[in-house]
Amino acid sequence: MKRNRIIAAIATAAILISACGGSGNGTTSGEESGGRSATADGIKDGGTLYVLTFQEGASNLDPQRVYTGAELGAYGSTYARTLTSYVPAAGKDGAGVEPDMATDLGTHSDDLKTWSFTLRDGVTWEDGTDVTCGDIAYGISRTFAAEVTAGEGPMYATTYLDIPEGDSDFGSAYPGPWLATADQQALFDKAVACDGKTITFSLKVPVADFAYTVSLLAFGPVPKAQDTADQYALKPFSNGPFKIESYEPGKEMVMVRNENWNPESDPVRKPHVDKIIWQYGLDEAVIDERMLADSGDDKNAIVYGGIQAENLQTVFGDDSLKDRRTDGFDGFVSYTMFNNETVNCIEVRQAIWLGLDREALRTAAGGPFTGEFAKSFVAPLLATDYAPAKLVDGLNEDGTPNLEAAKAALEKAKTSCPDVYAKATGDGLRFDHPDSDAWKKNIAIWIDSMKAVGVTIIDNPIEPSKYYATINGDRGDIMRSGWAADWANASTVIPELFGKGGGFNYTNNESDPNFAAFDEKVQSAKAETDRAKQATLWKELNQTIIDNVWAIPGSATKSQNLVGSNVRLGYQWLPFGWYNLGAIGLAG
């Protein structure tokens, strides 16, 4: 699961219990849960909630194309119900899934390859018609339609469902509902079968936690009659307590209450406000000033994008704000990817890691508030699969650069890989990153750090909401990224980020001679049913990635937010690293 700045996902109670253990090393700020703003104190039904954000629009509103943690939670809690949903609660209580449109968490065959769910009565669309099993099957089938959904959302449907491989754009024999012949459609209908209100999934691999998989919006329903293909992203049909009244990227989105939502059919959502207005494209500095001033409608506002680093001390140094602020781990690990095809020289990659001023980056981001230096690509909150790896020799623990070691590594590269050395020290390496205010500062630190080592960095900022789509087509030499598990297993981290065909592997590590053995082990780990053995394999694989420096782990991050003084139930919903938008109410 990707995120832009503050977005993350954590999936189970097991992780969260360990999260409560927190940092404890004194290097980070104390965790804060929002005080009064996270409670229901004085809450009244009605009113308008505002969401202020620097983003130009939603990364996508189409359920099959949403894959940003905060937005998955925000849209799932408002207009897009699924078979199961995360429990709407603060802390560890919010980490498990519960039945949503389904009557239970599903029944499965002994081999975990067949899963069935039954739809509740009374689940309706915004026009009052029933949500059917066929709507769910149709929604899932859209993931296969490369010409529309274009690989923007999670691809678990294509990797899990028992459909043969074939010639479609995603390598499946089923090309999605628009292009499928009758025979091809039959393949999908066999894998996702409807019998009245019961939907049965046939999987090609055993999946023990499929109840979590179907909580993704990509496994949600879409009514075929309302599907406008690419333009469904402008006005998706609602089956939740809110519906989209208007959406204008660059300006605003207005969500209003869906009068055809039946609360009795929904054990998960308890909405309070009448309207939610997203204000897009705001200047980040202006957002912070407005939130600090807390006047007018801004008393009813929350922020999507966090607090700017320069304002963190102000916000957390002022006790009068303790009932409006949150601070905590978000289960996310930031990292820097190498394009191992163009930077195919481990000495250069090591030199960059050793010479990088990680402490300066953390300071620029807001200091210890931002989190701890990561020692793994798996977040510490995934306690079962996490172990701090042995990092590159000579790396300073305090995050300061080791110029001597960096220059020594670069000197070795001069003879071991002269082409890459010449590029790194001559024309330079292109660094792709989101064009946010935070990264304007970070890239300056990168450029300065690398200059001291002797490496040239070419800055390439990309609009945040299109960052991943851009690097997917035109990849630089170095790229910023970050990841949180889709659920509590490193199977949603290591194969996805570094394995062959991993949905989000931008490292081009397949060109590395060590990749074949690595990927063979990844496949073994995925097939391992003994959880303890599987965890050991993930830890070893993580160490392999670090030994090969295919990427540099950055921070196990924390996020901070500030809400308006009227906001209530503004708790951090840990599975998504942001608020439970649909549950927020207002006081006063």
Q: Which residues bind other proteins (CB under 8 A)?
A: 2, 56-57, 65, 67, 145-155, 168-171, 178-179, 229-231, 233-234, 248-252, 279-283, 285-286, 289-290, 293, 295-296, 435, 461-463, 465-466, 468-470, 472-474, 503-504
Residues 169-195, buried b or exposed e (16+ Cβ, 10 A)? ebebbbbbbebbeeebbebbbebbbbe
- Least separation in angstroms between residue 435's CB and other proteins is 6
Residue whose CB is less far from other proteins, 369 or 506: 506
In contact, 106 and 211? CB cutoff 8 Å: yes
- Cα distance between residue 514 and residue 59, in whole Å: 35
- Least separation in angstroms between residue 51's CB and other proteins is 14
Closest by CA to 65, choosing from 3, 142, 126, is: 142
DSSP state of 126: T
Helix (H, G, I), strand (E, B) or coil at 76: helix
- Least separation in angstroms between residue 351's CB and other proteins is 28
Q: Are strands 84-86 and 97-99 parallel, antiparallel or unpaired?
A: antiparallel
Q: Which stretches of 490-558 are DSSP H helices?
A: 494-498, 515-527, 531-548
- Least separation in angstroms between residue 156's CB and other proteins is 11
In contact, 402 and 356? CB cutoff 8 Å: no
Residue whose CB is less far from other proteins, 181 or 524: 181
Residue whose CB is less far from other proteins, 222 or 406: 222
Residue whose CB is less far from other proteins, 165 or 283: 283
Residue whose CB is less far from other proteins, 169 or 209: 169
Residue whose CB is less far from other proteins, 1 or 453: 1
- Cα distance between residue 528 and residue 206, in whole Å: 10
Residue whose CB is less far from other proteins, 8 or 389: 8
Displacement of CA 234 from its chain's centroid (Å):
21
Give the DSSP H/E element, type plus range, for residue 310: helix 309-316
- Least separation in angstroms between residue 62's CB and other proteins is 9
Residues 208-220, buried b or exposed e (16+ Cβ, 10 A)? ebbbbbbbbbbbb
- Least separation in angstroms between residue 301's CB and other proteins is 10
Total residue count of the chain as it appears in this document: 588
Q: Which two tokens stand for residue 443?
A: 């890239």
- Least separation in angstroms between residue 137's CB and other proteins is 18
- Least separation in angstroms between residue 182's CB and other proteins is 15
Residue whose CB is less far from other proteins, 247 or 515: 247
